[in-house]
Amino acid sequence: MLRPKEMTKIVAVGGKKDRKAVVDALYDLKALHIKEHTPAELDIGSPLEQANDISEALIKSEAILSLWDEDVKGTKTHADTIKKTLRTINKIHDRVHNESEELRTRQKRAATLKEELHTHKILSKLKLTPEFFALDSVAISVGTIKDKGKLKEYPANTHTDQHHTYAAIAVPKEDKDKALQDLATKGFTEHDVRVRADEKTVEQEFKAAVNAKREAEKQLAQTKKEYLDYVQSATQFLRQEAIKAQVPLTFAESENIFYVTGYVPTEDVLVVTQELEKAAKKRLHVQTLKEEDEKEIPIKMEHPGLVKDFQFFQNLYALPRYKELDPTFFTFMTFPFLFGLMLGDIGYGIITLILFLFMKKWMPKFSGFYNIIILASVWTILFGIFFGKFFGSDYLIVWELPRVFHRLYDVMEVLYFSLFIGILHINFGLAIGFFNEYKSHGLKMAILEKASWWVLQIAVAIIALPFIAQTLTAPETTGSLWLFEPIVWLAQVLEPAQPFLGYGLLGLAVVMIILGEGVIGAVEIPALVSNILSYARLFAIGMAKASLAVVVNQFANGFMLSMGWWGLIPTTLLLVFGHTINILLGLLGGFLHSLRLHYVEFYSRFYKGGGKRYQPFGTK
């Protein structure tokens, strides 16, 4: 749980005859993360023998599916071989292609006839009969015009419907072109209105064409219903086969032998070896290798149930490296803690808990993410008890809630508490970093790089001790902290060694940091102060939320006092609306800032990241 899963690098060597069987076995095992072979002494392999057939069939079946506007859903079984599938898909593809072509032709014919019918109707509306077009000295020009008024100089019939204004204009045949040009400037567009036959014939033809079109559509739908299942299962099968056919490009191959190199979780090596040997009928050899470059090893994080949902944060940021500690468990411990500290209200916690429990039932797709918020809600309730707040008020109906600090009045205490949490969190990160460095670079480097920061903090604490003790023993100090006694006692004990102890340790710490991390480390010293102060946002956001809740409550109080029992409805609305906004802001802000504190302040103490994800052959 604290480290990524242990991986073993294996290489499987076999004869080219068994390639297909081995590839099938690998695909079903879903355990080998293949390391691609770079062509050196041995060249990369060539695709499996039936790759061409598979590609041809896959292209056609994808085309059929897109024509039908469908996709493959769920898992389907497919029993045919590749050759038979190719033949069947070809047959279906030709049929579907022909039928859709036929449909297109009939659609066009119906559209053309519709146009003709429309022309007939216009001619009748404009009161034109065939004799008008057979005159000697006058030509009739029919078309559309935008503005009827521009036709004043010409004798014309007009008809307006919802789309256009149609006009039939009489122009003298000799000056036809000049007249048409003049009309064009006025916005007149001429249409061709020569008709083939009379209206009745055209109408009959149109009805027949529409029927034919419907027939073609029915035929297409029929074909689809008959073959949809087969095409879907064939497409899924072909997609998988295409992936399998291409994988030998990652193998190393000579004339008769192929090598496949990859990573398998150590606990699965035996099973994988047995399955591969069985598939190749014992004509295969599997050997484990030692991996020198740790950056190549793929990362598979493994965690028990609830902790697994916090992998979401790692996927968002960066996967851990192979040998370093996996921060998911630590995030699981501290993220809800900081979230709860910022929200800190019993009522809000209960509301978010119930809300996200419901969301898990309605939209189970993101239930991992909901689990994170549910855990954070539990901590919110706990901190609500700590701060004694229920929907912003200090009273649960009428009984005053007990509390350790008051969010709004014990300002300085809450601030010191947040900074204290910050110091704990950052030192926790340093401890993890110390462990990581110890494992990878030995004790001396670990002490110089990480323990030096602890010496620095102790040195600063010792230097500041007299001043703190002075403030604490001054007569006007108030507050509920019980740490006063030990601090004052410690200041008295260390009195004779001041100031040498403090400044001496400080110098030692700076030297250690420079030795451990270089001059950049020394420049980072103010960054430590800024990182600790960054945790003051826990105090700030908490106070903002509490203040907003108190304001909403006071408004509601005002309503009730001034309006008596009539104020019940607006008060309820105000309370619901105000607290909902507060909860939404709190969820967003708490999540974001808690996450930022982890990513920036916590991780920068120990996390390097940059691992490659474990993607075994056979999974998407």
Considering only residues 600, 613, 615, 619, which one is a binding residue for another protein as defined by CB under 8 A? 600
Question: Out of 21, 318, 431, 575, which residue is the one contacting another protein (CB under 8 A)?
Answer: 318
Please name every residue paired with 159 in a beta bridge, in sequence order, or none if there are none.
166
Q: Which is nearer to another protein, 112 or 471 (CB)?
A: 471
At residue 64's C-alpha, the angle toward residues 101 and 85, to 5°, is 120
Q: What is the DSSP letter of 448?
A: I
In the complex, least distance from residue 473 CB atom to another protein, rounded to whole angstroms: 18
361-388: burial string, b at 16+ Cβ within 10 Å, e else = eeeeeeeeebbbbbbbbebbbbbbbbbb
Q: Please say which residue, 72 or 415, places its beta carbon nearer to another protein.
A: 415
Phi, psi torsion values for 196, nearest 5 degrees: -80, -50
Count Cβ atoms below 10 Å from residue 461 Cβ, excluding itself: 15
Q: Looking at this protein, which amino acid is placed at residue 387?
A: F
In angstroms, what is the minimal distance from the CB of 318 to another protein? 5
Q: How far is the CB of 364 from another protein (least distance, A)?
A: 27
Q: Are 317 and 608 spatial neighbours (Cβ–Cβ below 8 Å)?
A: no
530 binds another protein (CB under 8 A): yes
Interface region with another protein, contact rule CB under 8 A, candidates 153-161, 352-360, 459-467, 530-538: 530-538
| Number of amino acids touching another protein (CB under 8 A) | 18
Q: 410-429: which residues touch another protein (CB under 8 A)?
A: 415
User: Does 333 engage in binding with another protein (CB under 8 A)?
Assistant: no
* Tokens of residue 258, six digits: 């192929």
Are 90 and 60 spatial neighbours (Cβ–Cβ below 8 Å)?
yes
Complex with another protein: residue 237 or 539, whichever CB lies closer: 539
Q: How many other β-carbons are positioned within 10 Å of the β-carbon of residue 559?
A: 20
Question: Does 523 interact with another protein (rule: CB under 8 A)?
Answer: no
Amino acid code (one letter) for 87: R
Nearest to 264 by CA among 30, 8, 23, 3: 8
Query: In 344-483, where does DSSP find H-type helix?
Result: 346-362, 367-387, 411-441, 443-446, 452-473
Task: Using the minimum distance from each CB to another protein, give the nearer residue, 262 or 611.
Answer: 611
Residue 408 C-beta: closest distance to another protein, Å: 15
Greatest Cα pair distance in the chain: 130
Please report whether residue 468 would count as binding another protein according to CB under 8 A: no
User: Cα–Cα distance between 471 and 494 in angstroms, integer?
Assistant: 17
DSSP strand pairing (7-15 vs 284-289):
antiparallel
Return d(Cα 619, Cα 24) in angstroms, integer.
Answer: 13
Q: Are 264 and 10 in contact (CB under 8 A)?
A: yes
570 forms part of the interface with another protein (CB under 8 A): no
Q: Does 464 bind another protein (CB under 8 A)?
A: no
Q: Is 316 in the site for another protein (CB under 8 A)?
A: yes
Min dist. Cβ of residue 596 to another protein (A)? 7
Rg of the chain over CA atoms, in angstroms?
Answer: 40
Span of 103-111, 190-198, 479-487, 527-535 interacting with another protein by CB under 8 A: 527-535
609 part of the interface to another protein, by CB under 8 A: yes
User: Smallest gap, in angstroms, from Cβ of residue 599 to another protein?
Assistant: 6
Taking the least distance from each CB to another protein, the nearer of 216 and 541 is 541
Decide if residue 398 touches another protein (CB under 8 A). no
Q: Is 520 in the site for another protein (CB under 8 A)?
A: no
Between the two ends of the chain, the Cα-to-Cα distance in Å is 25
Choose the stretch contacting another protein; rule: CB under 8 A; options: 3-11, 373-381, 481-489, 531-539.
531-539
State the binding string over 211-250 for another protein (x if CB under 8 A, else -). Answer: ----------------------------------------
Residue 606 to residue 505: CA distance in whole angstroms? 24
> Is residue 487 a contact point for another protein (CB under 8 A)?
no
- Which one of 130, 305, 496, 526 is in contact with another protein (CB under 8 A)? 526
Alpha helices, H only, 126-198:
176-185
Task: State how far the alpha carbon of 430 is from the alpha carbons of 31, 367, 435, 449, 605, in Å.
Answer: 36, 32, 9, 9, 5
To another protein, the closest distance from the beta carbon of 526 in angstroms equals 8
**Cβ-proximal residues to 407 (8 Å cutoff; 6+ apart), any chain:** 344, 387, 389, 414, 542, 543, 546
Piece of the chain touching another protein by CB under 8 A; list 38-46, 64-72, 208-216, 314-322: 314-322
User: Residue 501 interacts with another protein (CB under 8 A)?
Assistant: no
**Closer of 21 and 595 to another protein (Cβ):** 595
Q: Is the dihedral of CA 424, 426, 427, 433 positive or negative?
A: positive
CA 462 to chain centre: 48
Q: Is 304 in the site for another protein (CB under 8 A)?
A: no
* 603 lies in the site for another protein, by CB under 8 A: yes
Closest distance to another protein from the beta carbon of 600 (Å): 5
Of residues 76 and 406, the one with the C-beta less far from another protein: 406
Q: Where are the alpha helices (DSSP H) in 31-148?
A: 51-67, 82-125
Which listed range, 43-51, 63-71, 333-341, 604-612, lies at the site for another protein (CB under 8 A)?
Answer: 604-612
The answer to whether 548 and 582 are in contact (CB under 8 A) is: yes
When the beta carbons of 497 and 600 are compared against another protein, the nearer one is: 600
- Residue 326 DSSP one-character state: P
Residue 471 within binding range of another protein, rule CB under 8 A: no
Helix (H) or strand (E) holding 240: helix 199-246
Q: Which stretch binds another protein (CB under 8 A): 125-133, 442-450, 525-533, 568-576?
A: 525-533
Q: Which is nearer to another protein, 25 or 597 (CB)?
A: 597
Among 533, 563, 573, 588, which residue interacts with another protein (rule: CB under 8 A)?
Answer: 533
Q: Shortest Cβ distance from residue 111 to another protein (Å)?
A: 45
d(CA 184, CA 169): 12
What single-letter DSSP state applies at residue 449?
Answer: I
Sheet of 156-160, strand order:
156-160, 165-172, 138-145, 188-190
Contact with another protein (CB under 8 A): which of 527, 569, 576, 581? 527
Judged by CB under 8 A, which stretch of 147-155, 380-388, 579-587, 595-603 contacts another protein? 595-603
Which of 259, 312, 317, 428 forms a contact with another protein (CB under 8 A)?
317
By CB under 8 A, name the one of 329, 337, 555, 599 that touches another protein. Answer: 599
Residues that bind another protein (CB under 8 A): 316-318, 415, 526-527, 530, 533-534, 536, 540, 596, 599-600, 603-604, 609-610
